[in-house]
A and B are shown apart, each in its own frame.
Chain A
Amino acid sequence: MRRFSWFNTTSLTLGFAFLYLPMILLVVYSFNESRLVTVWAGFSTKWYGELLRDQAFLDAAWVTVKVAVFSSTLATVLGTMAAYVLVRAGRFSGRTLFSGMIYAPLVMPEVITGLSLLLLFIGLNIDRGVFTIVLAHTTFAMCYVSVVVSSRLTSFDRSLEEAALDLGCSAFEAFRLVTLPIIAPAVISGWLLAFTLSLDDLVIASFTTGPSATTLPIKIFSAVRLGVSPQINALSTLMIAVVTVGVVAASIITKRAAVSQARDEQAAIRAE
């Protein structure tokens, strides 16, 4: 049995301290009575109360969630289609351009993506707001979804689809009954990724929004530009808590599934 060496223990401890201490401090100071962030004046949850009474924050949160739900769902549909095209459609004219357009947004600086979409919306005279942010987020998130889904599709045993066709499925039935259930985990993680990217995005949303729609990151950014604010600490704590619970739960579920699958396989081998 392998053990931790002192060197590895030290580097892991320091590394994870570096990764987590700033966030822990944020959480701790969100319960600080004092408005001065650096002085500990006793435990209090008053900033949470203030946050929840601040209509502007609540509105921004609502806009953000709306945008994230719409754009990630749309991005999942388009991204899955794009992945299918990339992996399965074979050759068609313009394929190189297509795969280029899938990969380019992944490395494109956000300022450029935001700027270019804004100029498009102005050129077309579209009123900017929730709708335009959804369009913008869908566009860059679908590329992430298609990368996640296409990596699953590449390792997918093609003969499963052929077997479905062989047994009388139409191409669409084969996708619905065989391909989709099997790649579902990748599609779901694609959706989650798109959802978080949308929740998180400041730059593209700033460019593509109008006066009618302010998202949470835009609100946070304008608040923290002026310095540390206890209300933002409280908000950050809530967001960290949600993500932590979500990720930990997801990883426990996948781990359980993997363990039970491994156990079944062992049992099947022994039974032989």
Chain B
Amino acid sequence: MRRFVLIAVPYLWLLALFLVPFLIVLKISLSDVALARPPYMPQLDLTQGLDGLLTFFSDLDFENFVFLSTDSLYWQAYLSSLQIAVVSTLLTLCVGYPIAYGMARAPREWRPTLLMLVILPFWTSFLIRVYSWMGILSTEGVLNQVLLFLGVIDTPLQIMNTKTAVYIGIVYTYLPFMILPIYSALEKLDESLLEAAEDLGCSRMEAFWLITWPLSRNGIIAGCFLVFIPAIGEFVIPSLLGGSDTLMIGKVLWEEFFSNRDWPVASAVAVILLLILIIPIVLFQRNEQKQREAEG
């Protein structure tokens, strides 16, 4: 009995507030927009019994998905989201790896402090961290002022409202997600392996590429997924740092919903976003499982 309650409470909560809402999204994505409240049809009318159910299902169609595939705006938004996510994931790796490496090779008594310094920004508001770059990247911003003062450039660079600003924003906010798994992989690495490699004739550089890099591969893969997956659906960064031409699917969904009030299309956009995400999520799960099996 107790066990039943223990299972039932969180189970029902998640069913009601996670699964059911998602099924509603799926259903609305197959509905048509209507000038009514709520602004879509058909509505499920249970008072008509089975007939109502049948008309309800016969009125559902894939029109919204057809619409999405014909309008190039959505194609571009999906492709551009993917492109931004891939580029910024690689950039985060390039920035994060040396930091994780430096941390793992730091004196032992320093490591907890360094680890805390990496985690600390994670506890501060995401919104504020994105916002902090607005003052730096704008045409009168700190970065341009410094560069002008140093004489590196003559006219201010236009970084704000471009893809570059979005890349910087993603690298900055998701950096801890990249550093932590790589650090934990590198920290476990037995240093006598490197000594053995050098003993067998490797140069330092060769030892890095032949030993350290492959052995930190699991951390790299985990870090890349942890950056890539949320970056695809990102909304705050493109809407604060990106311009009107930086299309990202999270932003399109938001505007479709709040500005155009086209709920069926917004729902269809959400469903496709999820379909795109399923592949990296499944790959990530597999990688985690493989690692657990290898360790367990």
Contact = CB atoms under 8 A, between A and B. Distances in A.
Interface of A: 1-5, 7-9, 11-12, 15-16, 18-20, 22-23, 25-26, 29, 36-38, 78-79, 81-82, 84-85, 89, 92, 94, 97-98, 101-102, 104-105, 107-112, 115-117, 119-120, 122-123, 135-136, 138-139, 142, 146, 171-172, 196, 199-200, 202-203, 217, 220-221, 224-225, 227-228, 232-233, 236, 239-240, 243-244, 246-248, 251, 255
5 cross-chain pairs, A with B, having the tightest CB-CB distances, nearest first: A109-B233, A116-B21, A15-B99, A11-B98, A8-B102
Given A109-B273, A220-B127, A38 B141 contact: yes
A195 B281 CA distance: 26
Contacts of A5: 105
B86 interface: no
A78 B12 CA distance: 11
Given A107-B277, A111-B254, A119-B25, A84 B6 contact: yes
8 contacts: A5-B105, A11-B99, A15-B99, A29-B135, A81-B9, A105-B18, A232-B131, A243-B124
B125 interface: yes
B254 A116 contact: no
B182 interface: no
B250 A109 contact: yes
B295 to A, nearest CB: 13
Contacts, number: 227
B14 A16 contact: no
B212 to A, nearest CB: 13
Given A111-B233, A119-B267, A243-B124, A15 B131 contact: no
Main SS at interface, chain A: helix
Contacts of A110: 233, 235, 250
Using C-beta atoms within 8 Å of the partner chain, give the interface range for chain B: 35 or more
B21 A119 contact: yes
Interface of B: 2-3, 6-7, 9-11, 13-15, 17-22, 24-25, 28, 38, 95, 98-99, 101-103, 105-108, 112, 114, 116-121, 123-129, 131-136, 138, 140-142, 145, 172, 175, 229-230, 232-236, 239-240, 250, 253-254, 257, 263, 266-267, 270, 273-274, 277, 281, 284
B254 A112 contact: no
A89 B8 CA distance: 12
Given A119-B267, A224-B134, A2 B107 contact: yes
Contacts of A19: 117-118, 121, 172, 175
A37 B135 contact: yes
Main SS at interface, chain B: helix
Contacts of A23: 121, 124, 128-129, 132
B135 A228 contact: yes
Contacts of B230: 107, 109
B126 to A, nearest CB: 5
B120 A243 contact: yes
B25 A115 contact: yes
A217 B127 contact: yes
A139 B124 contact: no
A12 B9 contact: no
B25 A112 contact: yes
Contact of A120 (B24, B128, B172, B233): B24
B18 A104 contact: yes
B98 A117 contact: no
Give the interface centre of A36, A105, A171, A240 by most chain B CB atoms within 10 Å.
A240
Given A107-B277, A224-B240, A244-B124, 18 more contacts: A8-B106, A25-B136, A26-B131, A79-B10, A85-B7, A89-B6, A98-B7, A98-B14, A109-B233, A109-B234, A109-B273, A117-B21, A119-B267, A120-B24, A135-B17, A202-B126, A228-B135, A240-B128
A11 B44 CA distance: 60
Given A110-B233, A225-B240, A239 B142 contact: no
B102 A89 contact: no
Contacts of B9: 78, 81
